[in-house]
Amino acid sequence: MTNRIYAQIQDGKVVAISELAADLVPIDTNDSRLLGTAYTGSAPVKVPTSSFTGLSVYVASDKTEISADGVDAANITLTVKTWDGQNSEYSGKVGLNIGSTKLTLDLVNGEASYSFKTSTPGIYSIQTSGSAFTSHGKSKVEAV
């Protein structure tokens, strides 16, 4: 596949530079959730059997602040959804990065949880990672 570089012009000024693949597929909506998804079908024509696939991980915490006593905990919940927001039954590994600590959790039927506690005060950035996903969630918990 050949990629081409384009300048996007708005009001006579360049506002973005982008690399555009040579294969274009018409879609019905301008939905940014499609970014990073995989396309199954024959480009450049969208046929009824074509589809976009991709999984996103959402991160939620039941607390935004915990005591830095090594006992108080924030329950971190990871949920996997399809690119268009539908629940997913995905099972597999996902990376969970809390500050500089890197963990690997097992997702079962699209969900995983982790109990975060620390005795070191600070603001902890919580983010997922993994190549199986098109987007990753993040959250923050402050330990005081």
Instruction: Say which residue the tokens 């000024």 belong to.
Output: 13
Query: Same structural domain for residues 68 and 49?
Result: no
Instruction: Give the domain-ending residue among 34, 53, 72.
Output: 53
Query: Same structural domain for residues 40 and 62?
Result: no
pLDDT digit string, tens, across residues 64-118: 999 999 999 999 999 999 988 899 999 999 999 999 999 999 999 999 999 999 9
Query: Same structural domain for residues 33 and 45?
Result: yes
As for how many domains the chain has, the answer is 2
Q: Give the model's pLDDT for residue 2.
A: 63
Q: How many CA atoms lie within 13 A of 16 on its CB side?
A: 5
Q: Give the model's pLDDT for residue 26.
A: 72
Query: Same structural domain for residues 134 and 63?
Result: yes
Q: Where are the beta strands (DSSP E) in the chain?
A: 3-10, 13-21, 38-40, 51-53, 55-61, 65-66, 74-82, 92-98, 101-107, 111-116, 122-129, 138-143
Query: Same structural domain for residues 59 and 120?
Result: yes
For residue 83, the SS3 value is: coil
- Mean pLDDT over 35-39 rounds to 75
Query: Same structural domain for residues 61 and 10?
Result: no
Q: How many CA atoms lie within 13 A of 84 on its CB side?
A: 7
Query: Same structural domain for residues 16 and 66?
Result: no
The count of other CB atoms within 10 Å of the CB of residue 59 is 18
Query: Same structural domain for residues 113 and 62?
Result: yes
Query: Same structural domain for residues 25 and 37?
Result: yes
For the CA atoms of 11, 12, 18, 22, the dihedral, rounded to the nearest 10 degrees, stands at 100
Domain membership of residue 79 as a residue range:
55-143
Global pTM value = 0.74
